Amino acid sequence: MSFIIVDAHNLFSRGRHVVRGDIDLKIGMCLHIMIASIKKCWSTLEGSHVVFAFDRRSWRKDFYPQYKFHRHEDAATKTPQEQEEDKLFYESFNDFHKFISEKTNCTVLEQHGLEADDLIAGWIQHHPNSKHVIISTDTDFYQLLAPNVKQYNGVTEELHTLEGIFDKYGKPVIDNKTKQPKEVPDPKWMLFEKIIRGDSTESSQALYWSSAFWSSDRYCRFMFSILALCRDSICSLVNPDFSISASCLSYLCFSASKSSCDHLPKSFVCSA
């Protein structure tokens, strides 16, 4: 079985910014990108069933009220015309959702408290012996890439796999800076980077912005547990042949105080 899994809201929203013009043109482009992406994956990657995942209110807001709060702030500053366009856009998205749910044999995933990426991860976990192609522009899905899991970006028309990133002709995508074929970033390193630097798209702040972070034993232990999770990725960036040292770790922690290293797990302190 080969599943084509669509991150519906992500793809619909990104398609809105591909073209300029009135809202009808933008909605038409969103639908075009969605259907064209499904058709391409179905024909070139031998799909056998289509699955749509829809967002609902996230459980993350119960633990972090500021989660994606910037979207509410942005909405409050929009002009009356932009607000009217938003209304028409989401009405069209709801009509599309109703059509998929009632007029097709596609599987529809939605559950209060879960976002589409939660549902997609759960679907793949419950179908370990099947092939999966995720249609989305969200790089967080790199965490799910496996020999049987690929990701297709319907906006850039790129296929992301463990073997590399390929364009619509099946050729490797070349990095403009290095002039070498692009590779999928290490998902563990991406997680580490988001934790340290924050993520503006999710309204999450960087951990190192406040000195209070380093003065708290609780947060130090939390931080080192995160570093332990990402140890292999960090080591490979420092030197593939050596384990990371305590001094290098302190540097990566943005010059954390020496007392913070007292909570460093013994398994993490290695000499070259």
Q: How do residues 155-202 score in pLDDT, each as one tens digit?
A: 899 999 999 999 999 999 999 889 999 988 887 777 777 777 766 666
**pLDDT-based confidence at residue 62 (cuts at 50, 70, 90):** confident
What is the per-residue pLDDT across 118-151, written as a single tens digit (0 to 9) for each?
Answer: 999 999 999 999 999 999 999 889 989 999 999 9
Rounded percentage of the chain residues whose pLDDT exceeds 90: 39
Q: Alpha helices, DSSP H only, in the chain?
A: 8-15, 23-44, 60-63, 70-76, 80-103, 116-126, 187-197, 211-214, 217-229, 231-238, 246-252
Q: Report which of residues 112 and 188 the model is more confident about.
A: 112
126 sits in which H/E element: helix 116-126
Looking only at the bridges linking them, the beta strands covering 164-166 and 2-7 are unpaired
Please measure the distance between the N-terminal and C-terminal CA atoms of the chain and give it in whole angstroms: 47
pTM of the model: 0.72
Asked if the model's pLDDT at residue 55 lies above 50, the reply is yes
